[in-house]
Copies of this chain bind each other. A is one copy, B any other.
Amino acid sequence: MSSLRYAVIGMGAIGGFYGAKLARAGREVHFLSHSDYEYVLSHGLHITSCDGDFSLPHINAYGSPDEMPVADVVIVGLKTTNEHLLRTLLPPLLHPGTLVILIQNGIGVEADVQSWFPDLALAAGLAFICSAKTEPGHVHHQCYGSITLGNYSCRDEALFQTVLADFCDAGIDANEVDYLEARWRKAVWNMPFNGMTVALQTQTNQLLAHLATRQLIYEQMMEVIGAANALGVSALDESFAQKMMQMTDEMVPYSPSMRLDFDFHRPMEIHYLYTRPIAEARAAGFVMPRLEMLERELLFIDARNR
């Protein structure tokens, strides 16, 4: 068991869940919380999970990063609509060897954070999980839960591997993957389903139950795969789109995070989920017309929703 000190930024569906798993396994975890701080300080953190419910009555919770100790590993579970906050939230938590793992949606988050902190060791965390924060201090884990880590700029290979081992020890199915491939692999599911459940005010199962939208979802997946191919990710092809369709067919009816953001009138993660990947693909000469259209629809819907 490692003695790494973890900090978690964002106690939502992602940071709350993975942080709680690590803490339950005995790791030292410090949670930075904005909206849930008062609640978790008194009542702790509660996970309702398909793998078995558990609670952490006492956690290290903080309302400001200035009160927190520096960490060896920072797990970022912040919404990318608040990405700019990392410019002030991260510095108090960093020592020269800290690894920051961005468990966030979309394409381009590592590039932006790296531009703000050029010497920072960064990794991408890709969570394949259905979970949601249902109320302060409560995370509902519906299904799945694996995570893959892609090394973006961490030169300390031993640290990176220790983190992977810590995740596995905590009962999390964790593996290392190629960074760029992993980000685009996740986009194959995220780009169609997040936006379409908002645009059509529906859930994953309904989109797949109707022939017209089932075809559209598949076409959008193939646009993402085409973009990934154009950017040098050669491992993705139509068999992966078919696999994602099948996986979603077998899932419970699901509202992705963007649909929940819409429902609660929160800003939607349009920039990193759509604008950035669309721009990166276009720069490589690949156009995603259906996802460009979806982005434009979402920008309209987002403006009206606030």
Residues of A bordering B, CB below 8 Å: 199-200, 202, 206-207, 210-213, 215-216, 219, 289-290, 292-297, 299-301, 303
Residue pair B290, A215 in contact (C-beta under 8 Å): no
Residue pair A199, B296 in contact (C-beta under 8 Å): no
CB neighbours (8 Å) of A211 from chain B are 299
- Nearest 4 A-B pairs (CB), nearest first? A212-B299, A289-B289, A212-B296, A216-B296
Q: Which of B206, B210, B290, B300 contacts A290 (CB 8 A)?
A: B290
Residue pair B290, A213 in contact (C-beta under 8 Å): no
Complex Cα spacing A212 to B300, Å: 7
Residue pair B290, A293 in contact (C-beta under 8 Å): yes
CB neighbours (8 Å) of A200 from chain B are 297, 300-301
Task: Name the distance in Å between A58's Cβ and chain B's nearest Cβ.
Answer: 47
Copies in the complex: 2
A289, A293, A303 pick with most chain B CB within 10 angstroms: A293
CB neighbours (8 Å) of A301 from chain B are 200
Residue pair B297, A199 in contact (C-beta under 8 Å): yes
Residue pair B290, A212 in contact (C-beta under 8 Å): no
Q: Which of B202, B212, B299 contacts A210 (CB 8 A)?
A: B299
CB neighbours (8 Å) of A213 from chain B are 296-297, 299-300
Complex Cα spacing A199 to B198, Å: 11
Task: Name the distance in Å between A271's Cβ and chain B's nearest Cβ.
Answer: 12
Complex Cα spacing A111 to B61, Å: 70
Q: Closest chain B residue to A213 by CB distance?
A: B300
- With A199-B199, A303-B210 in contact, is A216–B289 under 8 Å at CB? no
A-B contact pairs, 17 of them (CB 8 A): A200-B297, A200-B300, A202-B300, A210-B299, A210-B300, A210-B303, A211-B299, A212-B296, A213-B300, A216-B296, A216-B297, A219-B289, A219-B292, A289-B289, A289-B293, A293-B293, A293-B294
A207, A211, A212, A219 pick with most chain B CB within 10 angstroms: A212
Complex Cα spacing A300 to B202, Å: 10
Task: Name the distance in Å between A294's Cβ and chain B's nearest Cβ.
Answer: 8
Complex Cα spacing A266 to B219, Å: 29
Complex Cα spacing A215 to B202, Å: 25
Task: Name the distance in Å between A243's Cβ and chain B's nearest Cβ.
Answer: 22
Complex Cα spacing A24 to B242, Å: 62
Complex Cα spacing A201 to B95, Å: 51
Complex Cα spacing A299 to B216, Å: 11
Known contacts A210-B299, A212-B299; 8 further A-B pairs (Cβ under 8 A)? A199-B199, A200-B297, A212-B297, A289-B290, A289-B293, A290-B290, A290-B292, A290-B293
Complex Cα spacing A213 to B199, Å: 13
